Amino acid sequence: MAYIISGNAVSQNIKNELKVEVAALKECGLNTCLATVLVGDDAASHSYVKSKIKNCEELGIVSRHFGLPKETSQAELLELIDSLNSDKSVNGILVQLPLPSHIDEDTVINAINANKDVDGFTPVSAGHLLIGQDGFVPCTPAGIIELLKRNNISTVGAEVVVVGRSNIVGKPIANLLFRKGQGGDATVTVCHSRSKNIKEHALRADILIAAIGKAKFITADMVKEGAVVIDVGVNRIGTAENGKAILAGDVDYVEVEKKASYITPVPGGVGPMTIAMLMKNTVKAAKIQNRINIT
């Protein structure tokens, strides 16, 4: 049976470290601030933003939330982002995705000041990641690397297979894994919806990362004995009697757990790490903008 990697435990450790940094910044007269922007009334998005605000409060980070009606125009949203870019009291800007269909997500993301891009989605952040420069890394991939590091799982020379090629997870985690240094130096294969013989690729993996957005897509016959399995997926597969969503990852957890050496659960695995790394990026942004080095 696999060792279960607790994202809850690791994320709490990271947040405890960040509390110290936030307090140190306050002693320097600086209040770390994250601005969240939500357009519309999507229930899942509301839940995500609420969690981010709660984590800010827990760490002593100032949270400024802007809830806009779904009818908000693209021009109005861009005007708000421009004002937040100019506001020196705001260190990080997060626009919750997805946006309503009449708003172009790329245009909105590109409008965010790269120094406040705590989601790590702007072309500047993507470019820094691609060429191995320091910058803001998308939160979920950054969280995966922290899970591996803090569980002493070496990536050096490892065969890593990533199933999924999104800009949010698949592409950036691949770039992180083959960078030089700790948490990198891996041999990386990226599979996607047009890949042939995904099972054949997956069976080579020392570390298998599932981020394809299909419930229980990775089955036990696709996993090498003793592999490390990181499940990024969160898929709603039903509703419990109490009205809560029944969730499943991209991995058939019950069967794969029997073969893996390490595995992340859903929920409680990668999810908590995403928010922890958002908080970490926000603190990093505050330090960069104020040219303060606190470790």
Positions marked catalytic: 52, 96, 119
77-88 core/surface letters (b: 16 or more CB in 10 A; e: else): beebbeebeeee
Q: Which residues pair with 38 in a beta bridge?
A: 67
Helix 270-289 × helix 139-150 angle, to 10°: 110
Give me the amino acid identity at 40. Answer: G
| CA nearest neighbour of 140 among 217, 234, 54 | 234
Q: How far apart are CA 66 and CA 70, in angstroms?
A: 12
252: phi > 0 → left, psi -120 to 50 → alpha, else beta; which?
beta
Q: Tell me the C-alpha distance between 171 and 275, whole Å.
A: 19
Q: Is 233 left (phi over 0), alpha (psi -120 to 50) or beta?
A: beta
At 277, phi and psi to the nearest 5? -75, -30
Contact 262, 229 (CB under 8 A): yes
Taking the CA atoms of 53, 56, 60 and 65 in sequence, report the sign of the dihedral they define.
negative
* Angle at 231 (CA atoms; ends 225, 235), nearest 5 degrees: 130
Integer CA distances (angstroms), 242 to 47, 84, 122, 234, 245, in order = 17, 40, 40, 19, 9
What the block records as the tokens of 74 is 């693209």
Question: Which pair of structure tokens corresponds to residue 211?
Answer: 């981020």
